[in-house]
Amino acid sequence: MSSRVRLRPEIESIVPYRQGRTAAEDAFKLSSNENPFPPLPSVLEAVAGSSVNRYPEGSAAALRDRLAARYRVSPEWVQVGAGSVSVLAQLISAAAAPGDEVVYSWRSFEAYPLLVATAGATAVQVPNTPDHRHDLPAMVAAITERTRMVIVCSPNNPTSTTVTKTEFLEFMSAVPESCLVVLDEAYVEFVTDPDAVDGAALIGGYPNLVILRTFSKAYGLAGLRVGYAIGPEYLMDAARATAIPLSVTEAAQRAAIVSLEHEPELLERVERLNERREAIWAGLTAQGWASPRPQGNFVWLPTGAQTMRAGELLAARGIIARPLGDGVRVSVGEAESVETLLAATAEVVAIL
Ligand SMILES: Cc1ncc(COP(=O)(O)O)c(C=O)c1O
């Protein structure tokens, strides 16, 4: 082809989002922080009973009512999207345009740079601390009059570390109220550290704070795509204004409602995953890994310059993990994967 359509240069320079690798039959897919438990029968029933030839109810009213009751806010304070990443995209589009800046910690969730670039805004990445945590004072220092938004990820994907309550309160008191703060809590249900920030307790306390949560991880609905934000009505209205209409399917809305109704059973699964996570972390520590204490459903292996090799070695031993820059993220998966994983990491640690 000789001629090409003229595209936005900042879009042409983006490397499209790369999903965690799929696994061969006999390998464990631990590359996407998915929930290994099968869906509840009641979720499958709700999905099967959803209409397919009709459009969904676009505002997800019934689900928003349930979430509003749960967080003790009005339904206008809730925005539901096709995954929490969709709601994040809506908020970024609403707040940041070309010339504006969005501050976030790096390394963090792979989608942040893509979503910021898509909005035409400029990403300002603040390096994690040497112990793989957000450096909140440095993030505050990175705020300029061009900053429209700061994203805080706790637990942080991929390092599995949290921000403490005290750190977050200090941070909020230093951020100008004209700057949107999104606290991305995709993995909050897996947190066991009592000092970690809990966004739910802060709702309504700030005019510029939004929390982001999802049904993809603890609730095991990743394939249905449903997540949400809670925050002041004017911010949720702005997200609604930039949303692609009717993108949350009826199946997803119904499955999310059923999941809220069966929460104790799902949270019991989270406890089992957390026990597995602790066993993995203890095993890694005994092998000499300096992995930060994990608080999400995944662990971080700091492999530095050996990251790609480490990823390949793990794959050769039946563990499909996610090599990311200077470390490998491994999701907590099936019970049977733990032994295979620890046998493989014992080999990897030897090459570091
Ligand atoms: C930190 C973080 N936020 C948000 C998401 C998006 O999740 P979803 O769009 O499935 O709700 C993910 C998914 O991996 C994540 O790791």
Distance CA 267, CA 72 (A): 20
25 Cα–ligand 1 center, Å? 26
Nearest in space to 216 (alpha carbons), one of 246, 189, 235, 243? 189
216 Cα–ligand 1 center, Å? 7
Residue 210: its pLDDT value, please?
A: 98
Average pLDDT, whole number, for the chain? 96
Measured from the CB, is residue 259 less than 6 Å from ligand 1?
A: no
Residue 23: its pLDDT value, please?
A: 64
Q: Output Rg (C-alpha) for the chain, integer angstroms.
A: 20
Measured from the CB, is residue 109 less than 6 Å from ligand 1?
A: yes
334 Cα–ligand 1 center, Å? 20
pLDDT band at 1 (very low <50, low <70, confident <90, very high): low
187 Cα–ligand 1 center, Å? 8
Distance CA 114, CA 108 (A): 12
Residue 13: its pLDDT value, please?
A: 87
85 Cα–ligand 1 center, Å? 6
| Averaged pLDDT for residues 311-330 | 96
> Given the CA of residue 108, which atom of ligand 1 is nearest to it?
1
Asked if residue 88 has pLDDT above 90, the reply is yes
Which of 85, 221, 322 for a ligand 1 pocket mutation test, highest count of atoms within 8 Å of Cβ? 85
Asked if residue 189 has pLDDT above 70, the reply is yes
| Averaged pLDDT for residues 196-201 | 98
Residue 107: its pLDDT value, please?
A: 98
Measured from the CB, is residue 196 less than 6 Å from ligand 1?
A: no
Measured from the CB, is residue 157 less than 6 Å from ligand 1?
A: yes
Residue 11: its pLDDT value, please?
A: 87
| Averaged pLDDT for residues 65-86 | 98
Residue 26: its pLDDT value, please?
A: 81
Hey, whose CA ends up nearest to atom 9 of ligand 1?
A: 83
Question: Residue 104 corresponds to which amino acid?
Answer: Y
154 Cα–ligand 1 center, Å? 11
Asked if residue 137 has pLDDT above 80, the reply is yes
> Given the CA of residue 86, which atom of ligand 1 is nearest to it?
9
pLDDT tens digits along 12-59 = 888 877 776 666 778 999 999 999 999 999 999 999 999 999 999 999
**Reduced to 3 states, what is the DSSP secondary structure of residue 95?**
helix
Q: Which residues contact 12 (CB under 8 A, 6 or more apart)?
A: none
| Averaged pLDDT for residues 280-285 | 98
| Averaged pLDDT for residues 134-155 | 98
Residue 41: is it exposed, middle or buried by C-beta count within 10 angstroms (0-12/13-18/19+)?
exposed
Measured from the CB, is residue 84 less than 6 Å from ligand 1?
A: yes
Asked if residue 71 has pLDDT above 90, the reply is yes
Residue 16: its pLDDT value, please?
A: 77
Asked if residue 323 has pLDDT above 70, the reply is yes
Comparing 5-19, 36-50, 54-68, 235-249, the range with the smallest average pLDDT is 5-19
Distance CA 271, CA 268 (A): 5
Measured from the CB, is residue 81 less than 6 Å from ligand 1?
A: no
276 Cα–ligand 1 center, Å? 21
**Reduced to 3 states, what is the DSSP secondary structure of residue 309?**
helix
| Averaged pLDDT for residues 171-200 | 98
Report helix, strand and coil shares of the chain as percent, to nearest 5.
Answer: 40, 15, 40
Measured from the CB, is residue 36 less than 6 Å from ligand 1?
A: no
263 Cα–ligand 1 center, Å? 20
> Given the CA of residue 109, which atom of ligand 1 is nearest to it?
1
Hey, whose CA ends up nearest to atom 8 of ligand 1?
A: 83
Measured from the CB, is residue 216 less than 6 Å from ligand 1?
A: yes
Two tokens, residue 339: 């032994």
